[in-house]
Structure 1
Amino acid sequence: MQRELITFEVAGQVFGLDIMAIREIRAWTPTTRLPHVPPYVAGVVNLRGTVLPVVDLAARLGWEATVPTPRHAIIVTQLAGKSCGLIVDAVSDIVTIDGDTLQQPPATTTDPIVNFLEGLAAIDERMVMVLNLAALAEDHQAGEAA
C-alpha cells in the first residue's frame, strides 16, 4: 500500500509524517510559555482564534531543545485527538513510499527515540524516520495545557 509522507528536519535528522495526519504547515510564530507544563511544550500560539499548544519536537524526542528562528516551521497535526503544533527546523517535501518497505529500527538501538518511530524508510539515499503520532501523544500533556 502506497503512503504519502511529508518529510522535515529536526536536529539535523530527516523525519516523515503521514500526510493525512497533517492539518497545515505554518511559518514560525513565537509562543507564549505556560507554567507547569512538560519541558518539551514550547507554549501556545493563536490559530485563528483557537489556542494551539506547540511541542518542541527535538525536546520531545529527548534531544537538545530548539532555539527557534523565523526559519523554523510549525506542523499542525492531531495528538491525542486534539490539534497540536510541532516545531521543526524545515519542511522538505512530499514523498511516496510503499508501506511494506517500512523497516523497524535495528535491535542494537537503545535510544528512546525508537519508541516514537513507526519505522525507517530509505528514500533517495537518505534514511527517513517515520514518526508514530500515537506514541508521541502518550504521556503527553500539551493538549491539556491549552
Structure 2
Amino acid sequence: MLCIIYKQPISWQAAFYFPAGIIIVLLAAFGIGTFLAALNVKFRDFRYTIPFLLQVLFFASQIIYPLFSIQQQWLKYLLAINPMNAAIELFRSPLSGTTPDITVISIGLLSTFLFFAIGIFYFRKTESYFADLS
C-alpha cells in the first residue's frame, strides 16, 4: 500500500523487505522488552530511566535522518547496532528505490539476535525474583 501511495512499483524487494523488517522489529522489541521488564522487577527505580533510554534509542535510529548521510564510517557502524536501524533501512529502501546497505542490515540482525538472547536469558535468570500474585 505504501508503494502505491509513494508511486513506487511493487517489486520482489518490497515483498521480502517489509516482512523481514517486521520480524526484526518483533524480535528486537521482545528481547529488549523482556530484558527491561525483568530489570524493572528486580530494581524498582529502573522504571524511571526507561523513558529516557527509549528517547535515546529514538534519536539513535534513522527515523529523522537517513543513515547514508553520516560521513564517518565508525559512527555509521556504531549507530547500526540499534536494531531499529536495520528495520527502518528495510522499510525505507523499497520506497526510495535504493538497495539497503548490507553491512547495516548484518549488524542490525546480529544485534537483534543478541538483544533477543540476552533478554530471554536475563528474564529466565531473574524469574525467581518475581512475585506470584495469583
Tell me which interval the TM-score lies in, with the shorter structure as reference length. under 0.3
Larger Rg: 2
Normalising by structure 1, report the TM-score.
0.24
Asked which structure has the greater RCO (Cα within 8 Å, sep 6+), the reply is 2
With normalisation by structure 2, the TM-score equals 0.26
Q: Which has the higher strand share?
A: 1
| Bigger fraction of residues in helix | 2
